[in-house]
Structure 1
Amino acid sequence: MPQVVSLSFFRFDTPAARLWAFAMMGLARRGMSRVPGIGFWKLCGSGTGEGFTPKPNLSVYAILATWPDLETAKSTIAEATVFEKYRRRSGENWTIYMNTASVRGAWSGQAPFEVGTTRKEGPVAALTRATIRPGILGRFWGRVPDISAMIGKDPNVIFKAGIGEVPWLHQVTFSIWPDTQTMNGFARTGPHAEAISAVRSEGWFREELYARFSLLSEEGSWGGTSPLARLDAS
């Protein structure tokens, strides 16, 4: 069976819940390492606005994980203590389940995602992760507002989030698009394309990973609805 990747988002509405979630960025590590069946995993915070900003959003956190199959992913996320704690304290949560369609690069020195043998047409999710070289932080974050504004105005993007393990240095972008052609059209034009060119020519990243996923299923809601409902509407 192909590996399954889950990405869970949690929104915390009260000051006490936000303080708890912030503390869990460190305290949850032991519990995550003991979750049965889990493979690679990361605890992430998020950015404000469209998510692609250097200012932390203390209301939203995310957990990324890999699993041997969809059944294991769903049952463990439903039953594992650490996930149950996050759900109980959050005002809203949403999990997307995916298969990896393509990947290149490394994350914390590992190759976390396994490409499935089947190819699926239709909606696609894109994830980029980078360790930014400290010396270029000013240039990197100077580019981000233009990219954030561009993706925020794009009517084709179904869902978008900027998350990360370490503020300013370890950044993850995640977005869902109706198809590969639409996603590529965004990536190859405007501020995003200019930033990618600078990444290559100036060596902005110490480590980087790029992955694309096909969507399997979802659980929960975000903003009071299913983010994937826009796919059905279109």
Structure 2
Amino acid sequence: MSDLVDTSTGAPLTQIVTLSFFRFAGPLARVWALVMMGGARLPLARTPDIGFWKLCGSGTGEGFTPVPNTAVYAILATWPDIATAKARSSSGIFARYRGRAAEHWTVFLQTQSARGQWSGQQPFAPTATATPGPLAALTRATIKPRILARFWGRVPNISAKIGADSNVMFKIGIGEVPMLHQVTFSIWPSESAMAAFARTGPHAEAIRAVRDEGWFAEELYARFAVHSDAGTWNGTSPLARPEAA
């Protein structure tokens, strides 16, 4: 359960995780977004009520990918409750990103389970929330430099499998540092669809290799209930259709 509480009443709060995506069109907007990978750090740190946060670039293709996509950037953040998350993720530095972006989409998440660490922290506070709706999965890893070639040799098979899965509603690879610090994020219509992907084929083989050969210097795996979303991606909400383009 979450240990977040309302300071005025003592009642427990449900932590909300936001993942906001921004698509930039044209060279000037893309240069601005690249510069903001450094320039947005102080405004984010000063955002009221924000907890853990990360600025990320994105990759082409599905899942982990070494080839950057200079048009798409993301901000992950944690908040004490849904009202705060919705208010803060549409104002301040987030509003500046929205003003420059050709398109933006934010998904609001409640953590169901999390294990591992991100930058030495445990950023997500799981709750007992159960939902019949969509679920999201996030994997974050710091890849050991000595196994980079072996790791990236396996990635195309996993990426192809994600892209071919008709159940996946949304999928993207983002990261803090190209090649070394990578994040995959995907949304699935049900627990059974998510589990079917995770337990078979190249993904399952890669997970076994991670355990047997110690690929990652740090890793985090989290599963979320999808609370709601705001904005569009490719012209619509990814939650409104069976799969995302």
The alignment's TM-score, normalised by the length of structure 2, stands at 0.92
Is 1:226 equivalent to 2:244 in the alignment?
A: no
Distance, in Å, in 2 between the alignment partners of 1:100 and 1:50 is 23
Q: Secondary structure of 1:104's partner?
A: strand
Return the letter of the residue paired with 1:56: P
Distance, in Å, in 1 between the alignment partners of 2:196 and 2:128 is 26
Given that 2:63 and 2:162 are in contact with CA atoms closer than 8 Å, whether structure 1 keeps it comes out as no
Distance, in Å, in 2 between the alignment partners of 1:13 and 1:51 is 22
Given that 1:2 and 1:117 are in contact with CA atoms closer than 8 Å, whether structure 2 keeps it comes out as no
Return the letter of the residue paired with 1:172: V
Is 1:216 equivalent to 2:227 in the alignment?
A: yes
Is 1:176 equivalent to 2:187 in the alignment?
A: yes
Higher helix share: 1
State the partner residue of 2:128.
117
Unaligned 5+ segments in structure 1 are none
Give the Å deviation of 1:123. 1.2
Distance, in Å, in 2 between the alignment partners of 1:70 and 1:56 is 32
Give the Å deviation of 1:85. 1.0
Distance, in Å, in 1 between the alignment partners of 2:50 and 2:98 is 18
Equivalent position to 1:47, from 59, 77, 97 = 59
Alignment of 1:96-111 (within 5 A): 96-111=107-122
Equivalent position to 1:29, from 32, 41, 47 = 41
Return the letter of the residue paired with 1:23: V
Distance, in Å, in 2 between the alignment partners of 1:6 and 1:122 is 17
Q: Deviations over 1:28-74 (max 9, x none)?
A: 10010000000000000000122532011000000000000000011
Distance, in Å, in 2 between the alignment partners of 1:202 and 1:117 is 33
State the partner residue of 2:87.
75
Distance, in Å, in 2 between the alignment partners of 1:62 and 1:45 is 6
Is 1:162 equivalent to 2:178 in the alignment?
A: no
State the partner residue of 1:191.
202
Is 1:141 equivalent to 2:123 in the alignment?
A: no
Equivalent position to 1:84, from 70, 83, 95 = 95
Distance, in Å, in 1 between the alignment partners of 2:129 and 2:138 is 19
Moved over 3 A (4+): none
Q: Secondary structure of 1:78's partner?
A: coil
Return the letter of the residue paired with 2:127: G
Distance, in Å, in 2 between the alignment partners of 1:23 and 1:51 is 24
Given that 2:63 and 2:185 are in contact with CA atoms closer than 8 Å, whether structure 1 keeps it comes out as no
Given that 1:158 and 1:176 are in contact with CA atoms closer than 8 Å, whether structure 2 keeps it comes out as yes
State how many pairs are aligned: 231
Distance, in Å, in 1 between the alignment partners of 2:38 and 2:225 is 31
Distance, in Å, in 2 between the alignment partners of 1:168 and 1:222 is 25
Equivalent position to 1:7, from 19, 25, 31 = 19
Given that 1:12 and 1:89 are in contact with CA atoms closer than 8 Å, whether structure 2 keeps it comes out as yes
Unaligned 5+ segments in structure 2 are 1-12
Return the letter of the residue paired with 1:129: R
Give the Å deviation of 1:119. 2.1
RMSD: 1.1
